[in-house]
Amino acid sequence: MKLMSCDDVQSSLIDYIEFELPMSRRQQFNAHLTHCDQCQEMHDELQSVIVDAKSIEIREPGPQFWQELPNKVLAEVNRQERVKLEHVKHEHVKQEPFQSQHQGELDYATTLDSSIADSVKRAGSLPSENTGYADMSGDMRGDNILPFKALATTPAASGVVDCNDQSETQPVYQRLSSTKIRAKNRTTSASLMSESQCSEQQPSTEPFADKPYSRFTWPKKALPMAASLLVAIGGVLMVNQISVDKVNSVPFDNNAPMFYDSVAVQGEIAAGAAISNQALASLAQTMVPITHQSARFGFTSQNAILNSFSIGALFTETIVYIKSDDETLVKTHLALLGSAMHRQAGSKHLIQGIEALQTQHEIDPDVRANQLSQLMNHYAASLQSIADKEFFLFKLGAWSYDFALAALAKDASLYDKADDINAFKAQLQRLGAPAGVAKSLEEINARITKDVMTEGDYKRTIEEMENIRSLLG
Amino acid sequence: MDDNVLLAKYLSGNEAALTILVERYQKELYRFIYRQIGNEADAADVTQKVFVSLFLKAKQFEGKSSFKTWLYQIAVNLCKNHFRSNDRRKESSGDDDALDIMQDDTKAEDYILSEYRSILKAAIDELPNKQRATMQLRVYQECTFAEIASILSSPLGTVKACYHQAVLSLTKSLKEGAYEANEL
């Protein structure tokens, strides 16, 4: 055994006392201490300081304090929330109508519209400028969908998106259902999954393939999970300011804007009431808490309500909710999208389209979902024409929601995503995204390229997606 | 029941979950805060504030760290705020010490022990904030170095170095304190 010098021992004594040394080194320590009185004395001295420090008395309050503390905390939390609510209600009354508040932005959006139109025409993916959303018939369904899978591999700088490939021209939600069919068809020969896993993933007998726009059921099953996932991982809302507090991971500091009662706001949206921008902002803040990282790495501007990544996810999420017939959530999400479009200088055409969808709850969900898909494509094309970075983040946001749902449903389509992930990783590195994003994507890639994905793999995949969202959203 | 599950229950409207979480952590949190602040009344007040702050922000808890780490992050922050707004730590701790030591019927042995603890306590109070927090999280709260790094948002190596330095400083202070006592 190699002998240690006194200097070596004394410089690592605390590590020794705290059991931070590997076993081989501990043995060397033991051997040295046995024969060196000086080091042994120093060891005893340091150890006694630590032991004695523990014995310092603490003056504790009486038992009554401990008994009362939980109730005091609860009462104070409730009181402060009531105060916030009262304040918010007071502010709410003072709010001007949203439209008049943002007239300037709307005007800007209108002027922007003409430049966007060129890009849209190039993409060839949208209805003509004269086509109103109310005019869209069922015949148009599926004709104008800009596929996110294609977006993921299309060079953003090219400005042209090929939409002729019908196999790729499915909306996100529809592609998910189709991939389930593909999974079903290949289960017998698939070496990728165990038999038990395959049987768990058998879709219902609903003939998705024959009726591409018929309702599929799995998002309904996944919805509660997806909703909780979205609460945890969702996008970003910039309200007034971001407090960057390194120690406290809570995104907002004590000076952050007051919260509205999110349930009450959703109820008002569902009832068709005019909602103030601040109430919507507060709602989004509650549903999709802001993260510091997004601002830190320049993915969220101070002027944005939601960043492009979050808007992408929100579009996809709204489409899923439309298909699941949850009108309150649909209206809430459309309101958030509308609000974001105003702030992000979305075209007037887009804003009107989203507002129209708010009132069209009686029409067929498939038609409505398709209309929103087209609006999403319109927005994607407009982003592509003006900001490469925003466009990329947008499609990544939409993709990530798609991916998270597939992971939640343990869908076999995950196995096909490796190319997407590599493309995203390269683009993110180009944009200067935090290293954690690339690491998470690598981890996801390692999981989904395994022959058989275990429960732990799915769980880890979702956790890594959460990390990506927390960094970019 | 797991902390995160209880927090989720509280968020879904179950107030009993809050009670369980507070009861689970109130004593260890109070002790941590007391050792930071050194005053019983202020420690009790800050303890309550930490819990209130935590539950008001519960919706924003992302679950990236453990509940306990998050709790201590908030506690470290509020202790800092306390020091900023009320720089009374040394005075208040001095009051407590005097009460501890000056008992008429104290036996000589107890007195020496009290004196020793008094020196040690003063030495801990004199440590720079980060070293003191590291020392207390490690020695009293028995956190791992990785947990401390997370709570203090510092690299692991820095935390270990802080702890190392804190123990050495305390040893040195105790030696000097003992020398001064002998001189008297």
Digit-coded pLDDT (tens) for B5-51 = 888 888 888 888 899 999 999 998 998 888 878 788 889 999 999 99
Å from A365 to nearest chain B CA?
30
pTM of the model: 0.38
Give the contacts of B54 (CB within 8 A, at least 6 positions apart). Answer: B70, B71, B74
Place of tokens 């523990």: A54
Cα angle vertex A340, ends A268, A472, to 5°? 120
> Which residue, among B10, B42, B59, would best test binding to A if mutated, counting the most A CBs under 10 Å from its CB?
B59
Specify the DSSP element, H or E, that contains A167.
Answer: none
Which residue, A364, A385, A355, A326, is CA-closest to A133?
A: A355
Give the contacts of A319 (CB within 8 A, at least 6 positions apart). Answer: A171, A172, A173, A369, A372, A373, A376
CB A156 within 8 A of CB A384: yes
| Residues in B touching A50 (Cβ below 8 Å) | 139, 167
Q: How far apart are CA A122 and CA A108, in angstroms?
A: 22
Q: What is the separation, in whole angstroms, between the first and last Cα of chain A? A: 54
> Which residue, among B57, B132, B175, would best test binding to A if mutated, counting the most A CBs under 10 Å from its CB?
B57
| Residues in A touching B30 (Cβ below 8 Å) | 60-61
Which residue, A240, A242, A261, is CA-closest to A252?
A: A242
B96 touches chain A (CB under 8 A): yes
Give the contacts of A178 (CB within 8 A, at least 6 positions apart). Answer: A170, A208, A209, A212
Question: Would you give per-residue pLDDT tens digits along chain A (473 residues)?
Answer: 567 888 888 888 888 887 777 777 888 888 898 889 888 988 888 888 888 777 777 788 888 899 999 999 999 988 888 887 777 666 655 544 434 443 443 333 332 333 333 333 333 333 222 222 222 222 222 222 222 232 233 222 232 223 333 333 333 333 333 333 233 332 222 222 222 332 333 333 332 222 222 222 223 334 444 544 444 433 332 222 222 222 222 233 333 334 456 667 777 777 777 777 667 766 666 665 445 555 555 555 545 557 788 888 888 888 888 877 777 778 888 888 887 777 665 577 788 888 888 877 778 888 888 888 888 888 888 777 777 777 888 888 888 888 888 887 777 777 788 888 888 888 887 777 777 888 888 889 998 888 888 888 888 888 888 778 777 76
Residue type, A30: N
Q: For A293, what's the count of Cα atoms within 13 Å in the CB-facing half-sphere?
A: 15
Distances (CA, A) of B66 to A33, A200, A458, B48: 38, 32, 21, 20
Digit-coded pLDDT (tens) for A69-126 = 999 999 998 888 888 777 766 665 554 443 444 344 333 333 233 333 333 333 333 3
DSSP state of B60: G
DSSP state of A192: S
Distances (CA, A) of B147 to A19, A167, A436, B75, B159: 16, 50, 20, 14, 10
| Residues in B touching A72 (Cβ below 8 Å) | 48
Q: How far apart are CA A391 and CA A378, in angstroms?
A: 12
Instruction: Report B:116-145 residues touching A (Cβ under 8 A).
Output: 116-117, 120-121, 124, 135, 138-140, 145
Q: Which parts of A246-307 fold into alpha helices (H)?
A: 262-270, 277-287, 292-296
Cα angle vertex A169, ends A166, A170, to 5°? 120
C-beta atoms of A53 and B63 within 8 A: no
Q: Where are the beta strands (DSSP E) in chain B?
A: none
| Residues in A touching B116 (Cβ below 8 Å) | 52
**Is ipTM beyond 0.95?**
no
Q: How far apart are CA B92 and CA A18, in angstroms?
A: 32
CA A419 to chain CA centroid, nearest Å: 21
Å from A101 to nearest chain B CA?
29
- In chain B, the domains with their CATH numbers are 1-87 (1.10.1740.10), 112-184 (1.10.10.10)
CB B74 within 8 A of CB B49: no
Structure tokens at B42: 């202020």
A250 touches chain B (CB under 8 A): yes
